[in-house]
Chain A
Amino acid sequence: MKTDIQKPKVKTFRGPGKRKENTPQSGHAAHKWRNIRWGVLLFFNFLFFASFFFDIQVLEGSLSASRLFGFHLIDPLAAAQVLLANKNLLVNLVIGVVTIIIIYVALGGRTFCSWICPYHWLAELGEKIHLILKEKKIIKGHAFDRKIRYYFILIFVLLALITGYTVFETINPVAILSRFIVYGPSLMLLWVLAILLFEVFYSRRAWCRYFCPVGVSYQLIGYVTPLRIKWDPEKCSNCKRCQQVCLVPFVLTNTVNKGKALYVDSGACTRCGLCIDICDDQALSYGLKYLDKLI
């Protein structure tokens, strides 16, 4: 109780949440899901590294395409580009992509972004610096149009078809970083660094928010997956801090702003759990849409 009293009063807004005051529940762990998620992210990227470096052969390849215990896993966007560039369907390609789609339908689409993607992790660290600099008024933030991502995926898919080359894979920071982790550094890391610096000094989380076509490809999977963030209006006190920490705050609109849905209904949600961590009303949690009732 003592710690609750010392806590600064949390500002609340008007909204559909039914709790009047922000009253933290006991047992709230501030960084629980973030720590679990970082653990998983670093573990899988280490597994990629170790499979080659120590030759343990568990997860061979990089994030573009790999084999987990011999089973093909292939990034859907990279596979789409290859398919459109060489206009030739291959069994391995289909197997790898279908496996990935099944995995991420089960696990929540853009789960890939926050739980696996090594660039996401770097960007989270960069975001912390960005927020500190912004608080000290050293820099100003800039927002771009979220639709750019959709234009980008369209352009790069068309470019693969027209040029007969996987153009996006040349500049894909996810693939570049993944290859760096497994095979060692290349000069293309400078490009990744440039994006990161742009995010730190100019626009918060710009690549993941506004540009990344890989995120869009997993987002499409995310619309049909049951694993979502669940919102409990009985517990919510409308403090909206969930939207302040969120990579894609608009995904929470239909829940915490409008009260129209109990599960986050946008595929753009990365299921990172930062909102769950910040919510000391415990109004947010991981849930299974369609299946929660059955269980």
Chain B
Amino acid sequence: MKTEKKMKEPNQKNSISRRRFLQTSTVVAVGGAVVFGAISVPLLRRKHKLLRPPGALDEDAFLASCIKCGQCLQVCPPQVIELAGISQGFGIGTPYIIPRQGGCILCKGLPCVLACPTGALDHHISEGKEAKMGLAVISQPETCLSILGINDLVFRLEKLAKTESSEKPAVELKQIVGKLLQRLNPEEIKKLEDHTGLTGLGETAGHVLQDKLMNDQLQWLTAFVKKSAQAERACRICLEECPIKDQQTIRFIQKPGSTDGRDEIWPIVQETCVGCGLCEEKCPTTTASITITPRLKWSGSA
């Protein structure tokens, strides 16, 4: 009997402490879940500045609907959609676009909207024009080339000349040459052909030209571009790159200059802007002078 009792006692104690552990741990776990939900949601739900894909519902409805599957990201042709992580605050796993790294091109049929299984990207829109992602804003007028009256190709070539071959200058030069060939008049193209000894530059030979100019001809090219007719016009790349082609999303309006009396040409964003971010992506200044304010609604003037 004695031995049995001795055997039993620690066992009983064990089972009591075990039960206590079970009860406490249950309370802790369940309480933790409730507290997590109750505290984290209001705490983390602050006003974001994330640019959502086209068709996104209002932010609260969007966060409620998004199932975080990433299918919009998978079907995106230019691959500009990313999934938010913990550093983006609320909405882990929700899709967003970083316009400076790549804006939405508002492609035909909006595959991201079609792919969305929950309607967080509203199926009611069928064209990029109808998207309301945000609005472009001239956030840094002091660096805007249009206001400063600087031609974008000249600006980019001069910037390229300054960089010490570290940042893939070949790609940048290729883009500059491509743009240049679109803008030059036939006479100027002839001149370029004479200088380089190439023919048919109007159509296809952009990359050949780039190879030829890459090494020592950058200075010549800069001087050539400065003298070309297109150089008389200041940068309008934001409008040129705008995917909404049929409408004037940005108007260039002359204003009297603030300092030297010279008239300044200000890009003014119009109501048809959907906030796709291509202008921010393509803005040639070091930090974009035009940026997207996500979720911003048109209110008469931007």
Chain A residues near B (Cβ < 8 Å): 51-52, 60-62, 64-67, 72, 74-75, 78-79, 82, 85-86, 88, 90, 92-93, 96, 142-145, 147-148, 151-152, 155-156, 159, 163-167, 169-171, 175-176, 179, 182-183, 186-188, 210-211
CB pair B74 A167 closer than 8 Å: no
Is B68 interfacial (CB-CB < 8 Å)?
Answer: yes
Bound-state CA distance A145–B37 (Å) is 21
> Which chain A residues lie closer than 8 Å to B118 at the CB level?
65, 79, 82, 90, 92-93
CB pair B67 A78 closer than 8 Å: yes
Residue of A65, A90, A171, A176 near B69 (CB, 8 A) is A65
> Which chain B residues lie closer than 8 Å to A152 at the CB level?
29-30, 33
Residue of A82, A147, A175, A188 near B64 (CB, 8 A) is A82
CB pair B67 A169 closer than 8 Å: yes
> Which chain A residues lie closer than 8 Å to B38 at the CB level?
159
Is B107 interfacial (CB-CB < 8 Å)?
Answer: no
CB pair B67 A82 closer than 8 Å: yes
CB pair B29 A187 closer than 8 Å: no
Bound-state CA distance A177–B156 (Å) is 43
In the complex where A88-B119, A144-B22, A167-B40 touch, is A155 in contact with B85 (Cβ < 8 A)? no
11 contacts between A and B (CB under 8 A): A66-B69, A72-B117, A79-B118, A82-B118, A145-B25, A163-B41, A165-B90, A166-B64, A170-B93, A188-B85, A210-B29
In the complex where A82-B65, A85-B64, A169-B67 touch, is A187 in contact with B41 (Cβ < 8 A)? no
> Which chain A residues lie closer than 8 Å to B18 at the CB level?
143
Chain B residue nearest to A63 in the complex (CB): B69
> Which chain B residues lie closer than 8 Å to A183 at the CB level?
70, 73, 83
What per-residue 1/0 map shows which CB atoms of B160-178 lie under 8 Å from chain A?
A: 0000000000000000000
Bound-state CA distance A176–B69 (Å) is 10
Chain B residue nearest to A210 in the complex (CB): B29
CB pair B71 A142 closer than 8 Å: no
| Closest beta carbon of chain A to B67's beta carbon, Å | 5
Chain B residue nearest to A167 in the complex (CB): B37
> Which chain B residues lie closer than 8 Å to A61 at the CB level?
69-71, 74, 117
Chain A residue nearest to B63 in the complex (CB): A165
CB pair B117 A74 closer than 8 Å: yes
Bound-state CA distance A234–B221 (Å) is 92
In the complex where A85-B65, A156-B33, A169-B93 touch, is A186 in contact with B83 (Cβ < 8 A)? yes
CB pair B92 A188 closer than 8 Å: yes
> Which chain B residues lie closer than 8 Å to A64 at the CB level?
67-69, 93
In the complex where A144-B26, A155-B30, A187-B87 touch, is A164 in contact with B69 (Cβ < 8 A)? no
The list of the 7 closest CB pairs from A to B, nearest first, reads A65-B69, A85-B64, A86-B64, A159-B37, A186-B85, A163-B41, A187-B86
Bound-state CA distance A20–B31 (Å) is 49
A-B contacts besides A164-B60, A165-B45, A182-B70, 6 pairs, CB < 8 Å: A64-B67, A64-B93, A79-B118, A85-B64, A151-B30, A166-B67
Is B224 interfacial (CB-CB < 8 Å)?
Answer: no
| Closest beta carbon of chain B to A143's beta carbon, Å | 7
| Closest beta carbon of chain A to B41's beta carbon, Å | 4
| Closest beta carbon of chain B to A128's beta carbon, Å | 24
Bound-state CA distance A151–B119 (Å) is 29
> Which chain B residues lie closer than 8 Å to A210 at the CB level?
29
Bound-state CA distance A274–B119 (Å) is 41
CB pair B119 A92 closer than 8 Å: yes
Is B21 interfacial (CB-CB < 8 Å)?
Answer: yes
Is B61 interfacial (CB-CB < 8 Å)?
Answer: yes
> Which chain A residues lie closer than 8 Å to B70 at the CB level?
61-62, 179, 182-183
> Which chain A residues lie closer than 8 Å to B65 at the CB level?
82, 85-86, 88
Is B302 interfacial (CB-CB < 8 Å)?
Answer: no
CB pair A145 B117 closer than 8 Å: no
Bound-state CA distance A151–B87 (Å) is 30
Is B214 interfacial (CB-CB < 8 Å)?
Answer: no
| Closest beta carbon of chain A to B42's beta carbon, Å | 8
